[in-house]
Chain A
Amino acid sequence: MISIKKLRRSFGPIIAVDGVSFDVEKGQVLGFLGPNGAGKSTVMRMLACFLRPDSGTATVCGYDILKNPADVRRSIGYLAENVPAYSEMTVGSLLNFVCDVRQIAGKDRKRALDRIVPMCAIESVYHQTIETLSKGYRRRVGLAQALIHDPDVLILDEPTDGLDPNQKHEVRTLIGKMAKDKCIVVSTHVLEEVEAVCSRTIIIARGKILVDSTPEALREKYKCSLDEVFRKITKSKVA
């Protein structure tokens, strides 16, 4: 459902993403790992059609990110790293705005809101303005706006960052539940999360893919925990 071909993007002299290619199929949860500044968010932003690649392209649900960006955005749910939102809006009005844009109206809207608000556990803050929310609630609102149209492809940039252990567990369970009939790309620094929810792992550093495997295969190959595997790979291959 996602097919990336030789994506490349630089910011001035810094090459953020350097010829990254991979495919993700329906039913897969891809854990996107890498040290800070590795290019994870840049790849995700290009998939969400927010950034244009310098070269290369990608297709999401059959739509090309360069030729049909509007169709791509319609088919994905995207949660950005710093959870952008309009701070003066209430949670309810933000979700209604997203429904307006995504053409979810009438009964469908009510159904979508009834499903998503308890699912992300944001009932208690529904009428609060976003600027008054804690980091964890903000992220949950971000998740809610990404999931409200029940997209086939989910791109989540550090979805559990800032959440307490209970909330982290809930988000992981949520991702696990949706995994069967969706294609999910999750970037994270929390390696236990990869073990808990991901069926595949890609480790990226300095814009290049270092490893494309499954968490189990990695553990078996290196005979140590995923933490150590991550350190070994990113330090030895980058240095």
Chain B
Amino acid sequence: MHSFWAVLKREFKSYFTTPIAYVFLVVFLFFSGYLTFKRGFFEIRQADMTAFFVNMPLLFVFLVPAVAMRLWAEERKSGSIELLLTLPITVIQAVLGKFFAAWLFLAIALALTFPMVVTVCYLGDPDTGLIVTGYIASFLMAGAFLAVGCFFSTVSKNQVISFVLSVVACAILVFAGMPTTMDYLSTFLPAGLVTTVETFSLQTHYESIQIGVLQFRDLSYFVLLIVGWIAASAVVLEERKAN
């Protein structure tokens, strides 16, 4: 357990000793605010954060893989993996340590959007339950994308390749559930299959939590997605760590 904490601590600190954290936070906070106001935050005249949360999938599709791509690709490229994995640390401890460090960092990024909450509370009397579930949904989505990114980071030593592959994978997860995709699929697929695609899509589960319904099937979807991709990362890493 101490190895897991040691990896987590080191990894988390490394975001702030390099410019990554600051660049990411500035870009994320700027666009999360900009897109919210562009969607007509004031014009809809409602004290809620729908206009804010609705942008999260799109933002995270690009930004989370940017955080995840370095997790293992950089470690393998620079060779520091040989130091890490010859210390008394198991592969799964290392994978989890890095994953949770990155997730914690994304949680901080989300927490720093608090001025949005303050604004909404100042302007009216919003449903706080909705805001909380919105944040839970965004946090879980960040974790899911991070797990996907972590996997692609173990696949290639090249960070650009891992970034591109994880953006594509995350985008598929999101866009599979978009109404336009569903409409298009229903033109040639039987209704049963279209529903299956929709069930596998992250968008459907994200929206379901975001509108305030915390259901077991949505939570378990995110947990399974994270566990699955993390387990796959550990298996790939065990095989390819020294190649």
Residue from B6, B7, B241 within 8 A of A50 (CB atoms): B241
Residue from B13, B79, B88 within 8 A of A101 (CB atoms): B88
Residue from B2, B14, B18 within 8 A of A103 (CB atoms): B2
Q: Chain B contact residues (Cβ within 8 angstroms of A): what range?
A: 20 to 34
Contacts of B17 in A (CB 8 A): 88-89
Residue from B5, B18, B78, B82 within 8 A of A80 (CB atoms): B82
Contacts of A69 in B (CB 8 A): 90
Query: A101 touching B3 by the CB < 8 A rule?
Result: yes
Interchain CA distance A85-B86 in the complex, whole Å: 12
**B242 within 8 Å of A by Cβ?**
yes
Interchain CA distance A97-B9 in the complex, whole Å: 9
* Known contacts A80-B82, A86-B83; 13 further A-B pairs (Cβ under 8 A): A70-B88, A84-B81, A84-B82, A84-B83, A86-B10, A86-B14, A87-B78, A88-B18, A89-B17, A97-B10, A101-B6, A101-B88, A102-B88
What secondary structure prevails in chain B residues at the interface with A?
helix
Interchain CA distance A71-B90 in the complex, whole Å: 11
Output the nearest chain A residue to B80 by Cβ-Cβ distance.
A84
**B118 within 8 Å of A by Cβ?**
no
Quick one: which of B7, B85, B86, B90 has the most chain A CB within 10 A? B86
**B23 within 8 Å of A by Cβ?**
no
**B87 within 8 Å of A by Cβ?**
yes
Output the nearest chain B residue to A75 by Cβ-Cβ distance.
B88
Residue from A45, A73, A82 within 8 A of B242 (CB atoms): A45
Within 8 A of A (CB), among B220-243: 241-242
Interchain CA distance A82-B83 in the complex, whole Å: 10
Contacts of A218 in B (CB 8 A): none
Encoded as 1 (CB less than 8 Å from any B CB) or 0, chain A from 71 to 93 comes to: 10110001010101111110001
Residue from B13, B78, B86 within 8 A of A73 (CB atoms): B86
Query: A84 touching B78 by the CB < 8 A rule?
Result: yes
Contacts of B85 in A (CB 8 A): 49-50
